Structure formats: C-alpha cells, structure tokens
Structure 1
Amino acid sequence: MSIALIHEELHEGEGDNELNFSIYLKKLIENLFQTYKIGNAGISLKIDLEENLFFDVDTAVPLGMIVNELVSNSFKHAFPGRDEKGIIQIKLSSEKSVDEQSNKGQLAEKSNVYTLIVSDNGVGIPKNIDFENPDTLGLQLVAILVDQLGGEIKMKRDKGTEFRIKVNVKQT
C-alpha cells in the first residue's frame, strides 16, 4: 500500500521525481486507519504534518514504509482490549537547515533536518524486546530503513510507545 500510494502521488505530480510527502503521508495513514478500524473502534488518530514537504522517492519510500510499520504495530499490539480507547499520533516537521561544508571550506550542499514522531498511549513495548537488537522482523525493518536514510531513531516506553526519527534530507 505504501509503495502503491507513492506511484499514485508521483503520477499526479506530472512525472516529477519529488512528491508532496505531507499529502502522501496523510493518505497512507488514513488508509491504515480504515484497514485497522474494524475491531479497533475506540482508537483515534491525531495527525500533525507540516504542509508542503517535498521529498524524492529515495526518501519518501523508506519513510512511508517506516510509518506503515510503526502505525500497524500500534494497531496490532498497543491496545489489546478490543474496547480500549486509545490515541495514535503521527507528527512530521522540519527543524532547521544544515549547511554542509566541503573539505575545502566551500558550501557543498544544503539539507533540512526532519523529525518524524509516531506514538501511541497503549500498553507499550514489552521490556524484554531489545530495540537495539530486535527479534521482530518489523522493528528490524524500521532500523534498516532509518539507517538507509542516514537517520537516527530513539524509542521511549513511557505511557505507551514513542518512536522519534530524525533524518537529514538534501535540498534540490
């Protein structure tokens, strides 16, 4: 679903290699919400996305897959009681521009730092799951994709689960 939506957004973007990631991410999250809504009627969704964030495919695909995996995990594991009320939150924002210098002191390229937060107020990830060396394929995939983006990920287990991912995205 994640990749199919990217193809759809690229097609609507008139063949450009960049897509409006804000619009794409909102569609992806809404599709996930509709998919998991059955049996999870008490779960609500809060989305806070900076508008008009444009990413190329090499950034959009891994970030979309990360969101897909983390939101799916929240639906499947964070709220084990079918009647539980809960909140899943997704936030994406830019923080600052970073100017990278070449070894000759010249401006080599410019990038923006983006923070993606996926959190829920569910039961939290069990203490026996080592996030640094996860046993689950899904968390391994998330770690690999964050690494592929050259980013960093932190997890909190306080009053639910929060994943905070920071990536530098080169400006074109």
Structure 2
Amino acid sequence: CGLIINELVSNSIKYAFHEHQDGKIEISLSSDQQGQLILTVSDNGIGLPENLDFQSTKSLGLSIVRNLTAQLGANIILDCSQGTRLEIKFPDSLDL
C-alpha cells in the first residue's frame, strides 16, 4: 500500500496544481459493509486528461500503481469529475 500511496501523492504534487496554487490531497483507508478494505487518494487539482486510458497509459507513475494494484488482486475505480480520485478495493483475502 505504501508504494501505491507514494506514487499517487507524488503525481498529485507534480501535476494536479498550477504553480503557487493551494491544493488539497486526501488519503483514507476504510472498509465497506463486507469488510473489504478501500484505499482512497484524492486531490482537488486540475484532474486527469479526459482522453486518458488508465489501463494503457504510458505514465510511469500510473503504470506502477496499476501493476502494484494488479499484483495485490485489487480493483481501481478512477473518478476525474472533481480533481482526481482513485479508489482501490482490495480483495477480502489480502494478508497485510
């Protein structure tokens, strides 16, 4: 989880906010009603490009996130309607 958080926060710091623009990055870890862990990293920045295909992006940081998430058997939900919000749902059988 730490590497995923590091990549997402680094991307937010580098790309989400214009120079000298105040911004907000939020990180949360919660569980749903079934006990599934959900990691959410969001920012209120400019968002990702509309035409970005998260599954085939050439971005190193997003590729790392995608590959680490796949190794853990987790699912990614991407929301760019207000800034960028990535929600990663880990499988019930994840051993931490």
Q: Extract structure 1 runs of 4+ deviating beyond 6 A.
A: none
Q: Which residue of 1 aligns with 2:86?
A: 163
Between the aligned partners of 2:33 and 2:81, the Cα distance in structure 1 is: 27
Q: Which amino acid aligns with 2:27?
A: I
User: SS where residue 132 of structure 1 aligns?
Assistant: helix
- Which position in structure 2 is the counterpart of 1:86? 23
Shift of 1:152: 0.2
Selected match of 2:15 from 77, 90, 99: 77
Residue of structure 2 equivalent to 1:145: 68
Given the two structures, how large is their TM-score scaled by the length of structure 1?
0.52
Question: In structure 2, what is the equivalent of residue 154 of structure 1?
Answer: 77
The higher relative CO (CA closer than 8 Å, separation ≥ 6) is in 2
Larger radius of gyration: 1
Instruction: Flag the structure with higher helix content.
Output: 1
More strand by share: 1
For the aligned residue pairs, the C-alpha RMSD in angstroms reads 1.7
How many corresponding residue pairs? Answer: 95
